[in-house]
Every structure is written in structure tokens, then in C-alpha cells.
Chains A and B, each alone.
Chain A
């Protein structure tokens, strides 16, 4: 797990870890906390094309159904099967084992820094 200060963020409360041309995407601890007990995640299949800002999946808790937005244009190279089987991982380890998808991208859009995202959530 990378230091959360080194991650990029979106206003949709997602974090992005950039390693080469692959972006690993998850939701932040703030988002997981707001959602409450997560019971189901619906993730795009490996190989599917995603577009920045578009809904690509769902994160369902006992309180609400949140949407997963693609932070970048690209192709899904892996979806986290462990999270599909045990959605509570998103609550217990949102920045680590609770990651959601890995996307291969060609161009990285403007994303928020840790401090910018922290300002957004009022932390």
C-alpha cells in the first residue's frame, strides 16, 4: 500500500495510484465511511473500455448505492475479485486490499493532490 499522501484523487472520492501506464483505483476512507457497511460491488470486466467521468460500476452499502466513476480513459486490465467476494474489504482497507480496478491509460487527466482532496472533505 502506497502512502496516501502520494496518491491522486478525484472529487468523486476515488483515489488513483499511478504506476507506469496503469492506474489502480479505489474509493477513499472518507467515502467508505460515508457509505457504511459495503455489501456488494459491481466492477467492470477486464478488457472493457472505460471513459473518464463515466459510471463503470456500483458500490452498494446497507444505506445507499454509490457509483464508481472511471477517473481516466483506458482499458480495464484487472478487477479486484477479492472485493467482489468480500465487499467488506472496502471498509476495512480502502487504500489497500480494498482497491477496485486497474486501468491501462494513455494520458493521465488532471487529478487532485492529497492536500486538494483533503481540503474538499474538510479534513
Chain B
């Protein structure tokens, strides 16, 4: 034993690895990986290699990374000390900058029991709803909260941030509107970061933006975007312009502040079709820009147009209400190039926090907070002699003195927003609503008035006063005491299966350890309490951390430049494709719009390509699951003039190190196209080979897979985009970035995306070192091959690469089982719940299969437990085939079994209660009990209901 972190991160020790290697038939990890990874990839020449020539690599020992910038591995204690030092370089001031980001008080009961609780942060996206009822309930609370406050029918389970939510609102308006116009009207008083995002995204898909104060005559448009309250803080009545746009067939998209909506009329009442925004100020720290949960809600009739994920109520096999993801057939991974959005990852963990903030405070508490914020702002306005209709933000005219005022504020530890040389704005929030900054503000603005007394009434016309009720469901009116809140959070967490219970062997998702040390610094005030537009001098620790992490990621991928801005893999894809587009345009090749995508690709690839203004051409996949080289060459030849890019995943979505990837990249390059390597599966390559060395021009990485950011139950994600030097100028930058690291247009609202979770990946790389990262890759590949070898006799392993080996995951083909026994992959997935497991990935990339990815973090005992469960389930299926159990009454098709289902009433099944719930004796001492039985998908989609069901629904 030592104090090396890699021994804590990697589940298998050297004895276990020796045992597993023997089973797989290799002497060492090195030998295994060398046999699995094609020679040309493993030894691709690096740019720094003397005399390197493209395409061929001389066999030989794997070289260490030249002049690695990754320091030797730190211990957990050392890494935390270094993070402390970096955090110490940030300066936490009172932020009154506003612009969509406000300081907030995270209730400690939520911080401790959600943000810092692995039961919440290590869970996966709730695709197995029977074992995800806790977070699905939390998300339906979120949806109900958003729908209630916005006054609209249906809200989704979160968006990535407000800026991208506005973009999605624009795209929704275009597809749902009956207007022939190509114009989208944009409120001149919109947030500046939103305007920048709209510009970038509209240009790619050919939408014309028309910015206007939205008064007077407006051009014909398919939609209008209103900021409510405006970036300047103003509250006005947009119902006239909304009505006018709707009259001509357009849709109205309103970005609204959820806290303000407790006091002012809702977007729904003003006639909006779509409301968007952020829930950040509901208890989620600013975190220098993210992560936070954006939101979107739509009026009745537009539900099926909603991007992202939507939780709905269905029922289980016993007819009890049960939650599940609705309308999944409309998600981007199914609809591919026909998808209306590329959004997949949401911001579940943050949406859960925001919803719990509303559960804890209730409608009365939220309104009280909002009133205090507004009163403090109005009192301040009166002191500085400003009048007008506003909620929390006051623009103060200071002719010629704006910079001076901002500097005076900094001297008093307050950050204000400099609007222009003649005005500054001051935004109040929950933390300044107690008047604690009043004296400082008086001094800054030279107010010399002793006492003004309290303000009364409201600061907007009666017509805009909110009269309608919100958050009347009992869940928002029950948990006022901390005891009750704590127990509600525990009650929900207990329903769910997360990494704190056992292995989640989801292929393609990389559910590895999210270590406690990596998570430690996320809630430190020096990381959590920073506004995204704070002055550069306040964020030098953050910038240093970001630049180091960018450098490390560039090095391990073989690229020259990295932007950490994209908030999810899908956004990284989009950013990478927009970089390719920018490059072609700069070269005058505006006709290069064809994007080749293998049929095996993740569906998001195609959806992202469409949103980057490209046309998708599908390349065939051969019987081995690899790109059909002949078809690729034919497609390249056919589209040579117009070829923009190829998107390829490496290792492939089939979990195979595709042999011909070098030739594939070469064919595309020869025709003038760019190669986009999807980095979703980087976990199988790290330390052994680099995308940039075998032909990649640009890639996205998933920090929430390979680099340990937890999945959070379906987000946050971070999807950095990495590129070669020729594409680097087009990587996403931001007009408000403290330090311009890149020059391209933004894809996220905040300059560095979601910085508060970057210390997680920073700590992982810092504690593993280059050697540890490589060791993790080897352990992950070994674990997958061990599973494949041990299960091969029971289930065919569908694809393999060189020497019959898989990469970091393996596909078990259950179609023969179904043929022989009638038991399908869904039955096996649900039966695994009875055995205490989360199912592997179902029917991706091949229908009727299960894809298993054990990751490097699982130990041998857990991997064996999973394998034994799979073998036992196979035996059960065989018993069905043999007639021991009827096809319509066996433990597989009735899985999963709740406690209630085996206790209540007479037992009248062909199998015993023990066989139902204790198929292994070891389960008696510790068992995960699913709270619901198998959920009816069709019922929920036919009877769409996406808010908290009435309490009576749960009565027996």
C-alpha cells in the first residue's frame, strides 16, 4: 500500500489484475493493450518526433509523452493544498453585477444532502426509471415549479443555461410557427451574453436576427424574444408586442426571472408561447458561470416540441403511479439528423437543488425573499434618485464617472456592473436584501441621507402585479422544518440506485469513481461564490486552473488548443463543427457543408451537424461494426467538392479499436475535409494514443465520463472542445471573457462554461499523473475484456477488434436468447434490479443488446458479482425455454419485484417469493428494493402528464 491516489481510484489491485489477465490470456496490461489497439494508432508519430511521417509508425516501445506538462502524481492531501492555493488567488466580493447571475443562499440542508451527497451526484440519467424514482420525483417538482411560476402548461427537466435555452426557444419558434418569415426579433434589452449566443447560432442555421426595443413597427417575424425583466432591470408590459407577433403567425419566447415571477405577472399570462431562463438564484452558487439549471416551459400544444428531457407520470405493472422520462422517441439520439435539438445532457443535480429550494421555502418563502430583494432595490433607488419600474436591478446615471464608481465599489469589496461611461447598474439579491450593503452603497454613490424609512407598495403598474397562485401542490407546502426537509431528501435518495450502492455498468457512459477529494473543493466559497463577469483581478486562481487543465487536456489528446466552454458533449460537438465551418468559410469554401457520419455514430452527432448548418450524409457500417471503407471512399468522392467533415467515434461506439481509422482520416483529408473525432470513448485511449496523432483535427471530450465529473443524475456535463492549431482560432470564446483564450463565438452563456466543477477534473489529472491516467486505461480495458471472456459462453459478444479483443466496453447480444426463450434484453435489464444491479446500456448501438462498461474503478469482487448475476439470469431464461416456468409467468418478465408485490395477497405465481426477490442468498443481508414495478412506457406517452400528480393518485 502507498498513499498513491491511483490505488484508490482503480478498483483492481495487482493481484486481481494478474488473475484477470490470466483469464483473458495476457501477461501484462501493456501486452493486452498493445494487442487490442491497432499498431498504427498505438505508435502514431507525434508532431515532435524527428522525421515523423504520416500514416506509418515504427513498432517499438510506447514512448512517454515528450516534456509532459502534467506533473508527477500528487497525493490527495497535496492536491487539496494546491487547490487551496489556487482558490486563495480568487477574491470573493459582494456581487451586484446581475446580468442573469445572482448570489444566493444555498440552504445548508440542501448543500449537505444533495450537492455533497453521492446518492444524488453519482446517479446516472434516469433511463431505468424503476430505480430512479427519487430523482424523477425531484425533477417533476422542478417541472411543476417552473410551469407554475411561468404560467405555462409544461416545463422540461432543465436546460444547460439561460443563453442556450433562449437559442432553443428560437429554434422551437421557427419549427412550430406558421410564418414564412426568416426573421427572429430580439429585445434590445436582452442580456449581452444571450445576444452573442443568438448571433452565433442563428448564423449557422440561416436565421436573420432583428434587434429592437420592441416598440413601434416591427418586421414580419417567426418569433420574438423578450427579456423580462430586461437586462437593465426594467419591468414593462410586453403583451402588445407578443400579441402582434402572434397575430402574424409567430411565437413569443420570454426569458423570465423566476424570483421576480413570484411578484409580477407570468409569461403565460402575458401571452408567451415559450418561457426560458435560469434557476440559478434558487440556491445554486454562481460558480463563476456554472453549472446551473436553465429551464424551458411551453404552452399547451407545444409539448412535443420541447428539446431535452421531460419527466412524466405513467403507471407500473400494478397500476401504481410511477415517474419516467417521457417522449424519449423524440430525443436526439433516436431522431438523429431529424432531431429538432442536439440537447441531451441536462443539469439534473442543479435542477434538483433549485427545486428543493422551492420545496424548502414554499410559495410564501419565495415571495418573501422576492419582496425583500425588491424593497432593498427600491430603497436604494430612492436614495440615489432613480425612478422607474424594476425588480432587483437599478441603473444609476453617473455622467462620466462610471469607472470611478465601479473602482470605489471594488475598494469596498463590491462588484458593480459598468453599463457605459455614464451609468452603472446595481443588482440586489437574497444576500444583500438584508440591507447589509446599504451603508457601503451610500458611500460609493455619495448619498448623504440619514433615514428614508421603509418603502411601500410596488414598483410596477397594477396590471403587472401577479394575482395567480403558484406552488400550491402539497410538496411545496410541507417541508418547512429542517428535519422534514432532511428526511424528504433521504426518502427520495433511498429510492434510487447510484454508484454508492453498486456498479453501474453502462456502456458508453463511463460510470467511474467520482472521488470525495475531487468533489471537495466544489463548494468552497472561493470557487462557488464568483460571478462569471467578475473583474479579471478577482479570478486569477480560476484562470490559472483553467489554463492548466486546458494544457493537460491538449497534451493527452494531441491537440494544440482546448476550450472548456461547452456545457455538455453535444455542445462540444457543435462547437467543434462550428470551428470547422469557420475554417472553411475563412478559406472561401462556403460550399463545404456535407458532414459524413457513420450509421453507428451516436445520434447526437447528426443532430449537432444539422445545427451547425451542415447536411448529414450517412456512411455505411460493415458487419463487424466498423466504417465500411468502400462506402466511405464512394461518399467522399461523391461529395468531394462539398465535403466539410467526417465525424467518427474512437474507439467506435461498438467498443472496438477500429483498425482502419488512419486510412479513414486520410481519405477525408485528401478531399479537403476535416476529421472530427468524437471523444466519448477517450477512456479507452488515454495515455496510449492521441486523437491528434492519428488524424483528428478537432474533438470534444466528456469530462463527466473520462475525467470524473459526476453524472449528477443526468448532468452537469462539461464537453471541452480540442483542436489542431489551424482550427484553434474558431474555438468558442466569449465577448465578456476576463482573458480572451479563444476568439470564436460563444456556445455557452458563461465564458468558461461551468468552472465550479473543473476542479474535479483538475484534481483527477493532478492526482493520477500521466502514469496513473495510463494505468486507468489499462485497467478499464482489462475489466471489459474480462467480462467479455467470462460471459462469452453465455451470451455472444457482438464485436471485437484485433486479436478478438474489445476496448473498454463489450456488447452482449441478447437476440439469440430472445429467439430461444422469448426473454429479451429489457427483461434481463429489469431482472438485474432484483439482483441488485443497474442494467448496462440497452439497445445502443445495436437493438436487442446490452453494452457493458465496467470502468477501471470497479473491483474484481463487484465485477464477478455482476458476471454471476448475468449467468444466473441466463439460467433462469433457459428454465423458461425448458418449460420450467411458463413464458407469461416467470421471474424475468415480472421483474423487478417490489416488496409489496411479494408480501401482499396470495402468491399465485409459478415461481416462489424467494426466487422473486432473493435469487441469491447473499441478497438477504443487503438488498436494494425497487419502489415500483415495471413501468408502462406507452401509457405515459399516451397520457402525457408532466407535473406533480395529486396526492390522491398515490392512495391505494
Which residues on the B side are within 8 Å of A42 (C-beta)?
304
- Whether B330 sits at the interface, judged by CB under 8 Å, is yes
Asked if B942 contacts A40 (CB within 8 A), the reply is: yes
A59-103 near B? 1/0 per residue, CB < 8 Å: 011111100000000000000000000011000000000000000
Size of the chain A interface, CB-CB below 8 angstroms: 12
A60 vs B330: C-alpha distance in the bound complex, in angstroms?
8
Contacts of B942 in A (CB 8 A): 39-40, 87-88
CA distance A97 to B42 in the complex (A): 60
Would you call A12 an interface residue if the criterion is a C-beta within 8 Å of the partner chain's C-beta atoms?
A: no
- B938 close to A65 (CB less than 8 A): no
- Asked if A39 contacts B304 (CB within 8 A), the reply is no
Q: In the complex, what residues of B have CB within 8 A of residue A87's CB?
A: 942
| A62 close to B328 (CB less than 8 A) | yes
Alpha-carbon separation in the docked complex, A42 to B305 (Å):
12
The winner among A40, A61, A64, A88 for most chain B CB atoms within 10 A is: A40
Binary contact readout A6-17 vs B (1 if CB under 8 angstroms, 0 otherwise): 000000000000
CA distance A87 to B328 in the complex (A): 17
Closest CB in chain B relative to A119 CB, distance in Å? 23
Query: Smallest CB–CB gap between A44 and chain B, Å?
Result: 13
Residues in chain B near residue A63, CB distance under 8 A: 329, 334
Contacts of B334 in A (CB 8 A): 63-65
List residues of chain B with CB within 8 A of the CB of A61: 329
Choice from B327, B328, B937 contacting A37 with Cβ under 8 Å = B937
- A residues within 8 A CB of B338? 65
A37 to B939, CA, bound (A): 9
In angstroms, Cα B334 to Cα A40, docked, is 16
A65 cross-chain contacts in B, Cβ below 8 A: 329-330, 334-335, 338
Q: How far is the CB of A68 from chain B (nearest CB, A)?
A: 14
The count of A-to-B residue pairs whose CB atoms sit within 8 angstroms is 34
User: Is B941 among interface residues, defined by CB-CB distance under 8 A?
Assistant: yes
> Most A CB atoms within 10 A — which of B329, B334, B338?
B329
Q: Let me know if A39 and B938 touch, CB within 8 A.
A: yes
Bound together, the chains give a CA A65 to CA B335 distance in angstroms of 7
Q: Given A64-B334, A65-B334, A65-B335, do A37 and B938 touch, yes or no (CB 8 Å)? A: yes
Taken residue by residue from 330 to 344, chain B's Cβ proximity to chain A (1 for < 8 Å, 0 otherwise) reads as 100011001000000
Tell whether, in the assembled complex, residue B938 and residue A60 are in contact, meaning their CB atoms are under 8 Å apart: no
Overall SS of chain B's interface: helix
The complex places the Cα of A34 from the Cα of B938 at a distance, in Å, of 15
Tell me the complex Cα distance, A23–B335, Å: 29
Q: Which of chain A's residues 27-49 have a Cβ closer than 8 Å to chain B? A: 37, 39-40, 42
The digit string for B934-953, where 1 denotes a CB below 8 A from any CB of A, is 00011001100000000000
CB distance from B900 to the nearest CB of A (A): 26
How far is B335's CA from A14's CA once the two chains are assembled, in angstroms? 20
Report how far A61 CA is from B329 CA in the complex, Å. Answer: 7
Contact of B937 among A40, A62, A64, A88 (CB under 8 A): A62
Asked whether A40 lies within 8 Å of B938 as measured between CB atoms, the reply is no
- Which chain A residues lie closer than 8 Å to B328 at the CB level? 62
Question: With A64-B329, A65-B329, A65-B330 in contact, do A40 and B941 touch (Cβ < 8 Å)?
Answer: yes
User: In whole angstroms, what is the CA distance A21 to B682 when docked?
Assistant: 59
A61 (CB) vs chain B CBs: closest residue: B329
Q: How far is the CA of A65 from the CA of B328 in the complex (A)?
A: 10
Cβ-defined contact, A60 with B329, below 8 A = yes
Query: Nearest Cβ distance between residue B317 and chain A, in whole angstroms?
Result: 15
Give the shortest distance, in Å, between B931 (CB) and chain A (any CB): 22
Complexed CA–CA distance, A60 and B941 (Å): 9
A64 to B328, CA, bound (A): 8
Shortest CB-to-CB span from B590 to chain A, Å, is 28
**Residues of B in contact, count (CB < 8 Å):** 12
Which of B323-381 touch A at CB < 8 Å? 327-330, 334-335, 338
- Per the bound structure, the CA–CA distance linking A32 and B335 in Å amounts to 18
Task: For residue B304, give the distance in angstroms from its CB to the closest CB of chain A.
Answer: 7
**Assembly CA distance A88 to B327 (angstroms):** 16
Contact B330 A39, beta carbon cutoff 8 Å: no
Which residue of chain A has its CB nearest to the CB of B942?
Answer: A39
Q: Separation in Å of the A71 CB from the closest CB of chain B?
A: 20
Q: Which residues of B contact A60 (CB under 8 A)?
A: 304, 327, 329-330, 941
Distance in angstroms from B936 CB to nearest chain A CB is 9
Q: Are A62 and B335 in contact (CB under 8 A)?
A: no
- CB-nearest residue of chain B to A66: B329
How far in angstroms is the closest Cβ of chain B from A91?
9
- Complex CA–CA separation, A62 to B331 (angstroms): 11
CB distance from A19 to the nearest CB of B (A): 31
Distance in Å from the Cβ of B275 to the closest Cβ of chain A? Answer: 23
Nearest B residue to A39 via CB reads: B941
Give the residue name and chain of the A residue nearest to B943 (CB). A39
CB distance from A45 to the nearest CB of B (A): 12
Closest B residue, CB atoms, query A67: B338
Q: Pick the most buried of A39, A60, A63, A87: most chain B CB atoms within 10 A of its CB.
A: A39
> What separation, in Å, do the CA atoms of A58 and B747 have in the docked complex?
31
Q: Given the complex of chains A and B, what is the CA–CA distance between A60 and B334 in angstroms? A: 12
Please report the C-alpha to C-alpha distance between residue A65 and residue B338 in the assembled complex, in whole angstroms.
10
Q: Can you name the residue of chain B whose Cβ is closest to the Cβ of A64? A: B329
User: For the complex, what is the distance from the CA of A40 to the CA of B942, rounded to whole Å?
Assistant: 6
Measured CB to CB, the nearest residue on chain A to B937 is A62
Give Cα A42 to B938, complex, Å. Answer: 16
Closest to B330 in A: A65
CB distance from B578 to the nearest CB of A (A): 27
Residues in B neighbouring A62, C-beta threshold 8 A: 328-329, 937-938, 941
Q: Tell me the smallest distance from the CB of A64 to a CB of chain B, in Å.
A: 5
Closest chain A residue to B304 by CB distance?
Answer: A40
User: For the complex, what is the distance from the CA of A88 to the CA of B941, rounded to whole Å?
Assistant: 11
Which residues of A lie under 8 Å from residue B304 when comparing CB positions? 40, 42, 60
B263-285 contacts to A, CB under 8 A, are none
In the complex, A37→B304 CA distance in Å?
17
The listed residue with most B CB atoms (<10 A of its CB), out of A60, A62, A87, is: A62
- B830 CB to nearest A CB, Å: 15
For A37, list chain B residues within 8 Å (CB): 937-938, 941
Beta-carbon nearest neighbor of A87 in chain B: B942
A64 to chain B: which residues have CB within 8 Å? 329, 334-335
A40 to B330, CA, bound (A): 12
Give bound CA distance, A14 to B334, whole Å: 22
Which chain A positions have C-beta within 8 A of B938?
Answer: 37, 39, 62, 88
A58 — nearest CB in chain B belongs to which residue? B304
Nearest B residue to A91, CB-CB: B938
**C-alpha spacing A61/B335, complex, angstroms:** 12
- By beta carbon, the residue of chain A nearest B847 is A63
| Alpha-carbon gap, A15 to B560, bound state (A) | 56
Question: Closest residue of chain B to A35, judged by CB?
Answer: B329
Q: Which residues of A contact B937 (CB under 8 A)?
A: 37, 62
Give Cα distance in the complex from A39 to B938, angstroms.
6
CA A63 – CA B844 in complex, angstroms? 13
List A contacts of B327 (CB < 8 A).
60
How distant is B934 from chain A, measured CB to nearest CB, in Å?
A: 13
Once the chains are docked, how many angstroms separate the CA of A63 from the CA of B938?
10
Q: Tell me, in angstroms, the Cα distance from A64 to B198 when the chains sit together.
A: 30
Tell me the nearest residue of chain A to B303, going by C-beta: A40
Question: Which residues 187-244 in B have Cβ within 8 Å of A in the complex?
Answer: none
A62 CA / B328 CA spacing, docked (Å): 7
**Which residues of chain A are near B330, meaning CB under 8 Å?**
60, 65
Residues of A within 8 A of B329 (CB): 60-65
B176 CB, min distance to chain A CBs, angstroms: 12
How many angstroms from the CA of A60 to the CA of B304 in the assembled complex? 10
Residues of B within 8 A of A40 (CB): 304, 941-942
Of the A-B pairs whose beta carbons lie under 8 Å apart in the complex, a sample of 7, sorted by A's number, is: A37-B941, A39-B938, A40-B942, A42-B304, A60-B304, A63-B334, A65-B330
Q: Which residues of B contact A (CB under 8 A)?
A: 304, 327-330, 334-335, 338, 937-938, 941-942
Nearest 8 A/B pairs, CB to CB: A39-B941, A37-B938, A62-B937, A39-B942, A64-B329, A65-B329, A62-B938, A39-B938
Known: A65-B334, A88-B938. 11 other contacts (CB 8 A): A39-B942, A40-B304, A40-B941, A42-B304, A60-B327, A60-B330, A61-B329, A62-B938, A63-B334, A64-B335, A65-B335
